Amino acid sequence: MLKEEIKKLAEEYFNDTVSHRRYLHRHPELSFQEKETSTYVVSQLEALGIPFERKANTGVVAILKGTKHSSEKVIALRADMDALPIQEMNETSYKSQNNGIMHACGHDVHTASLLSVIRILQQLTDKFAGTVKFIFQPAEEKIPGGAKVMIEEGVLENPSPKNIIGQHTMPELPAGKVGFHAGNYMASSDELYITVKGKGGHGAMPHLNIDPVPIACQLISSLQQVVSRMAKPQVSSVLSFGRLIADGAANVTPDEVKIEGTFRTTDEGWRKEVHKKMDKLIHSVVAGFGATCDFELRKGYPVLANDISLTQEMKVHAETFLGKDNVMELDSWMAAEDFAYYAQIRPSFFYRLGTGNEEKGVHAALHTPTFDVDEKSLKVGIGLMSYLALKLL
């Protein structure tokens, strides 16, 4: 009966959820700048009479208590709110109104869903005991990550949740389905910033220069050996370089070359080893050609590890709510998520919400200017999270 009641409420609040999502999609804001988004969330909480507090400047934390009987158990549900520096290419009634900023990762879906989950659970307080903490988090897309800042400001205290649940859109998965992965699911994420410093000059007289361009090319090639020849084959690793700036000319050798890249892995032990190996390799390669370099490694998010027993438990409940055919096993994903910080502290569970629809042409990948979702997925987004929360309590 609880399952059917939640599905009925998810249907009832569906149109409002779509409205939330479209408003947020029209007004995207970058990491740590989510002032209007935060104000919108607060206005909805105030309308429902839900107590809340602000954290990390634009973050919002709300509380809802069950009335079935007395219980000290606490769980938390999390949604992220920030958008990306992408110019939207979609032509829809809810297209981004903020030039160069877009909800291209589905955080508008996450926030809208959590607002409706609050409404559903508010209608069912007599069905559960304990407390639900709703975390509306800023800045998932930018190091150091809003989760880290929220934790530092006490989001996991007073009261302290035993478990935390989060969801994320997945355009590769059809709307109506969800995806689970127990254990290490998402990769760590570190950023590399290298400046190779040589001696510029006339391109016709290379013997008088220390050309940083071929040195940078050699360095990129050598660093790939860290992943292809130093990592155990069983360990997932990715090293990618997306920016190379050699600002000379056709006949001008520049003084320096800047390189930017990312390293990701699903093994924290190997991650620490790689940091040392890269530092040693970079300086030795550059020195071998008579140049010098600056190397900055910005440590990003840790590996996101889904608690195995919690994930298995949630999978059973999801199959009950959606049917076994709609609950998929996922491979590990080399993207990164600051939800990982919560999972380091409390047994947590992060799952994927299918949002794609090939027939409607809704299949663009995350972080692209044509990303969109089949909004029918919002029924699952609000219904399943509500059901899993109550099962945890």
Distance CA 390, CA 384 (A): 10
The answer to whether 94 touches 100, Cβ cutoff 8 Å, is: no
Burial letters 346-358, b for 16+ CB under 10 A, else e: bbbbbbbbbbbbe
334/240 Cα distance (integer angstroms): 12
Pairing mode, if any, of strands 237-245 and 256-265? Answer: antiparallel
Instruction: Check if the beta carbon of residue 103 is closer than 8 Å to that of residue 385.
Output: no
Q: Work out the number of other CB atoms within 10 angstroms of the CB of residue 359.
A: 9
Catalytic residue flag (residue 29)? no
| First CA to last CA distance, the chain | 16
Q: Which of 34, 82, 211, 374 is catalytic?
A: 82
In DSSP terms, 179 is beta-bridged to 328, 352
Does residue 140 carry a catalytic annotation?
yes
The one-letter amino acid at 247: D
Cis before 161? omega within 30: no
- Are 286 and 222 within 8 A, CB to CB? no
31-67 as b/e: b if 16+ CB within 10 A: bbbbeebbebbbebbeeeebebeebbebbbbbbbebe
335 three-class SS? coil
Side chain identity at residue 145, one-letter code: G
Catalytic residue among 140, 211, 374, 375: 140
Query: Which helix (H) or strand (E) segment is 225 a member of?
Result: helix 212-225
From residue 234, alpha-carbon distances to 227, 230, 245 in Å are 11, 12, 34
Are residues 199 and 210 in contact, defined by beta-carbon separation less than 8 angstroms? yes
Contacts of 37 (CB under 8 A, 6+ apart): 24, 27, 29, 58, 81, 82, 111
* Residue positions annotated with a catalytic role: 82, 140
